[in-house]
């Protein structure tokens, strides 16, 4: 039986093959971190196809699921490394008055698979929850989402409140109706069009090349 090409299987969203490939490599004694690297490379492939317009949001959601299920098999092996391996800490939340979580969950998964510690504070998160998370976790990045234009005002207030804490964290915003102009209007430090923007900007904010 041919060995599974894990990178290709992830990119092509072949979940059964991905699970088979991860189990094969674990049984062969391959390091969990190395397997994770292959899963990440596959997700990069998904990102390129999404950017090119060959994949849509449904595929992006599916890829996050495939990745999560595969990464779960590596759970205990990776957990042995603890938070020491995290390249940065990111707080993610959907702002108050908005309960959408698909975008946030995709970004959370993809940041996690790129080595970040993600603190997900959920949806409809009040300003106080963001501030409390900033004080407790000393993050490199604070990411805010909204899918409703009616939540723009509260997003602006949340950005201002987070910055008023004196945190050095980079504040990023994203979500369906959000664009560069909204980010500027909110006084955010950056706008993420998709999960892959979030990874690149978070790496930059965390001092990772």
pLDDT at 209: 63
> Quick count: other Cβ atoms within 10 Å of Cβ 131?
17
**H or E element in which residue 174 lies:** strand 170-174
pLDDT at 82: 47
Task: Give ranges for CATH 1.10.1240.10 in the chain.
Answer: 6-82
Give dist(CA 201, CA 24) in Å, integer: 34
Give dist(CA 209, CA 204) in Å, integer: 7
Question: 86-205 belongs to which homologous superfamily?
Answer: Cobalamin-binding domain (3.40.50.280)
DSSP characters over 9-73: HHHTT-HHHHHHHHHHHHHTT--HHHHHHHHHHHHHHHHHHHHHTSS-HHHHHHHHHHHHHHHHH
Q: How far is CA 178 from CA 18, 148, 183, in A?
A: 34, 9, 7
Task: Give ranges for CATH 3.40.50.280 in the chain.
Answer: 86-205
Instruction: Chunk the chain into consecutive blocks of 10 residues (it has 209) and report each block's average pLDDT, rounded to whole numbers.
Output: 87 95 92 83 85 87 86 70 72 94 81 86 97 97 94 97 97 94 98 87 89
* Closest-CA residue to 75 (of 22, 152, 121): 22
Phi and psi at residue 6, to the nearest 5°: -60, -45
Residue 77 tokens, joined? 């092996």
- The CATH code belonging to domain 6-82 is 1.10.1240.10
pLDDT at 186: 98
């Amino acid at each position: 039986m041919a060995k599974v090409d894990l990178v290709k299987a992830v990119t092509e969203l072949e979940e059964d093959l991905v699970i088979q490939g991860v189990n094969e490599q674990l049984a062969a004694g391959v390091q969990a971190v190395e397997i994770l690297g292959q899963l990440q490379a596959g997700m990069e492939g998904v990102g390129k196809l999404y950017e090119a317009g060959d994949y849509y949001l449904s595929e992006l959601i599916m890829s996050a699921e495939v990745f999560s299920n595969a990464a779960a098999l590596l759970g205990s092996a990776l957990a042995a490394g603890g938070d020491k391996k995290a390249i940065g800490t990111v707080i993610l939340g959907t702002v108050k008055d908005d309960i959408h979580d698909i975008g946030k969950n995709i970004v959370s998964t993809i940041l996690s698979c790129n080595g970040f510690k993600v603190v997900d504070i959920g949806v409809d998160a009040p300003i106080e929850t963001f501030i409390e998370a900033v004080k407790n976790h000393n993050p490199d990045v604070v990411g805010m989402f909204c899918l409703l234009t009616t939540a723009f005002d509260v997003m602006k207030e949340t950005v201002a409140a987070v910055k008023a804490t004196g945190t050095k964290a980079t504040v990023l915003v994203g979500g369906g109706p959000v664009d560069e102009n909204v980010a500027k209007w909110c006084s955010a430090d950056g706008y993420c069009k998709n999960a892959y923007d979030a990874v690149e900007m978070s790496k930059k904010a965390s001092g990772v090349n």
